[in-house]
A and B are shown apart, each in its own frame.
Chain A
Amino acid sequence: MKRLCLMAMFALLCISFVIAGGKQERDGVVELEFWMRDTRPSNVEAMDLIVESFEQQHPGIKVNVVLTPWDSVEQKTMTAIAAGTLPDLSQLNQTGAADYGEKGILLNLDDELKSWDRLNDICGVSVSQAKYNGEFYAIPWFAGSNVMFYNKDLFIEAGIVDADGNAAPPKNWEEFLADAKKLTKDTDGDGVVDQWGFVTRGDVSLTIPIREFMLAAGDGEWVDSNRNVIVDSKKNLEGLNFYLDLFQRYKVVPPDTPSVDYVGEEQYFLSGKVAMMFNGPWNLGNMYDSSVNWGVALEPKREKNACHIGGCPVGIFNTTEHPNEALLFAKYLVSDEAQKIWAVDMGNGLPVTQKAQELAKQDPVIKVFVESLQAADADNVTPPPQIPEWVSIERSVAPPIFQSALLGEITAEACLAQLQSAMTAALNE
């Protein structure tokens, strides 16, 4: 009897697991699972509002948002592919459409999106991030662009001001270098430089700032549409040389630049010891909390108005049982209403639609980010190439080669030649 009871309890337990874990469609309500990589409180709060509004408008659909932080989401996705437990849809990284499109796990949305009337309202850069091989594998969601943060007090103290006596940030490379030199100095007279004109990343995350300088120099293209590596070019060399000179020749960046990462870069600026920094809208929370008197301006121009363009599309996995409902939710994320909540009200990146972008411009700080995105878009500045290997190139192939150049172990020319061959090998693997 006791054994029978135990067996019955075990069976009940198993059944309850099956019921709890199965794909849900109760009382005609379709449940969607959405993996979100941005997990800051403002992201979660905004998504709660968006989901609430979506569910009100679509009573037959329930969206379960699962937080999948950036640092572990790729591993989680790999496991889910193997186990067959992918969600219905997920926030992707900026080259995720190519990466997952190549893996064959995303739904091809070309037929659904090509005739979508809202597509003309979305900025070109974000549309390009949703495509792989010319076809839609994702839906644009939000964008991001870098701008230059500058310390107004340090500028005024150094006399770099306009006619009204306000801090005047540089507009081109010549002014940028001249200002950076003026702002690099020993403030306490002990013979040691303790204030720098600029701070940039030099640890393994240095690919993005270097590419920004290459873009400004007029190129920044690393791979063409036929997957040929074209990084070893004259203008890319000019951009790389400018980045290297800031550290090696002019010494206008901190001496530990090869170990400065995202956090270190921000800390340097927030400590008030650095006058300029390139960064994105995701740092605004910390900026607003700081005591530094900061401003934002477009990044200095050489040939192009350039900046790093980020952003995230949303992909629908081809294992979903509810592709239509998933598409409905993904499209809702690009609605004016959802764009306003996510990007304008809560400041979680930049909106991708024209109407929301104009709305966002009412905020004087966000306005500069939107202008930076629009100026870069107008100058045909591209986001990182839509190739599946980009994450690997950005995070593991390029950094040691760039760092060797930064440390003076190889020349800038040799650096680009090495990168050209390493990238070619990575793309042909």
Chain B
Amino acid sequence: MPTLPSFLSAGERLYRNDYEWQTQLLRNELQALFAAYSSDNADKHSYSDRQHRTLLVPWMLPGALAAIMWKWLYHGSVGLINQMLLRMHIISAPIPWLASTQFVLISVVLVNVWRGAPFFMVMLFGGLQTIPNELYEAAMIDGAGSFTSFRNITIPLLKPLILTLSLYGFIGAFNFIDIILVLTKGGPAHHTLTLPLYVWQLAFVDMKISYATAVCVLMCLFLVVLLGIMMLFLKKRGGADE
């Protein structure tokens, strides 16, 4: 059983911000943006089934496998990304994507966005199909442009779905571990250490099982409280909209 001192100590570590909150939040935001853009495109251009299936591939890949693939793509000297950028004369020397404090965070976040976005895209695409075309036609007759239609028809009608997906994405981002574990193991120098990875290290490297349990319980409480607030907020907003 976790003891009181281990709870206090865990709380202190959380407070001292030993891991990257930004990783989790940034990943959530980027994923939502990417998904919204892709699904909007998919809807507008009536993507074929084959294209849809191709877009779903990242989501179907196991996280660890995707991470191994990206590890080689990001390789500091022979990686495909560096080679492409060098040949296109965009950079003059290879960028050590996973070894530089400047790029490592955004690099791991992008892999997770790439992997998670198809799911959000499919869900939003499903939502878009339920919006009757008549609404857009009526708006067009009234002189609304595409952006106005998007803001006043698409967004309000998709709002419940977007909010549910945000909750789902937030929980996913909060539990972000597999890709980081393979890509950087939280390094260099803790620059990509997320909470779940910190717990994993405590439990399976330091073998401090009770300490890790204490952090897990704190994480869970934090998530429950935060999600509770979000749900209340959503309910209120939902009520006001109606």
Binding site for B on A (CB under 8 A): 74-75, 78, 191-192, 194, 202-204, 254-260, 264, 271, 273, 391-392, 395-396, 399-401, 403-404, 406-407, 409
Q: Which residues of B contact A254 (CB under 8 A)?
A: 76-77
Known: A192-B92, A407-B189. A258 touches B99 (CB 8 A): yes
Q: Which of A192, A256, A391, A403 has its CB near the most chain B CB atoms (within 10 A)?
A: A256
**Interface size class, chain B:** 20 to 34
B209 lies within 8 A of A256 (CB) = no
Known: A391-B205, A396-B201, A396-B206. A202 touches B190 (CB 8 A): no
Q: Which residues of A contact B76 (CB under 8 A)?
A: 254-256, 259-260
| B168-186 interface bits toward A, Cβ cutoff 8 Å, 1 = contact, 0 = none | 0000000000000000111
Binding site for A on B (CB under 8 A): 75-78, 86, 92-94, 96-101, 104, 184-190, 201, 204-207, 209
Q: Which of B99, B101, B184 has its CB near the most chain A CB atoms (within 10 A)?
A: B99
B205 lies within 8 A of A406 (CB) = no
* Cα(A399)–Cα(B206), bound, Å: 13
A407 lies within 8 A of B205 (CB) = no
Known: A255-B94, A392-B207, A409-B189. A271 touches B78 (CB 8 A): yes
Nearest chain-B residue to A392 (Cβ)? B206
Known: A257-B99, A396-B206. A403 touches B189 (CB 8 A): yes
Nearest chain-A residue to B193 (Cβ)? A400
Min Cβ gap A265→B in Å is: 12
A256 lies within 8 A of B205 (CB) = no
Q: Which residues of B contact A409 (CB under 8 A)?
A: 101, 189
* Cα(A204)–Cα(B184), bound, Å: 8
Known: A255-B76, A259-B96. A395 touches B205 (CB 8 A): yes
Known: A191-B92, A409-B189. A396 touches B205 (CB 8 A): yes
Q: Which of B75, B86, B187 has its CB near the most chain A CB atoms (within 10 A)?
A: B187
* Cα(A258)–Cα(B103), bound, Å: 13
Some 21 contacts from A to B, beta carbons below 8 A apart, are A74-B207, A192-B86, A192-B92, A203-B188, A255-B76, A255-B77, A255-B93, A255-B94, A255-B96, A256-B76, A256-B98, A257-B96, A259-B99, A259-B188, A264-B75, A273-B78, A395-B205, A401-B189, A407-B101, A407-B188, A409-B101
* Cα(A232)–Cα(B70), bound, Å: 38
* Cα(A255)–Cα(B189), bound, Å: 16
Of B99, B104, B184, B207, the contact of A255 (CB 8 Å cutoff): B99
* Cα(A258)–Cα(B188), bound, Å: 6
Of B77, B86, B96, B190, the contact of A400 (CB 8 Å cutoff): B190
Nearest chain-B residue to A191 (Cβ)? B92
* Cα(A271)–Cα(B188), bound, Å: 24
Beyond A203-B188, A204-B187, A260-B99, 9 additional pairs, beta carbon < 8 A = A191-B92, A255-B93, A256-B77, A257-B96, A258-B100, A258-B187, A259-B187, A273-B77, A409-B101
Top 9 closest A-B pairs, CB basis?
A256-B76, A256-B96, A258-B99, A403-B189, A259-B99, A259-B98, A258-B188, A256-B99, A404-B189
Nearest chain-B residue to A72 (Cβ)? B204
Q: Which residues of B contact A404 (CB under 8 A)?
A: 189
* Cα(A192)–Cα(B77), bound, Å: 10
Q: Which residues of A contact B184 (CB under 8 A)?
A: 203, 259
Min Cβ gap B164→A in Å is: 36
Q: Which residues of B contact A395 (CB under 8 A)?
A: 205
B188 lies within 8 A of A392 (CB) = no
Min Cβ gap A150→B in Å is: 20
Nearest chain-B residue to A82 (Cβ)? B209
* Cα(A273)–Cα(B77), bound, Å: 10
Q: Which residues of A contact B201 (CB under 8 A)?
A: 396
* Cα(A401)–Cα(B187), bound, Å: 11
A192 lies within 8 A of B94 (CB) = yes
Min Cβ gap A208→B in Å is: 15
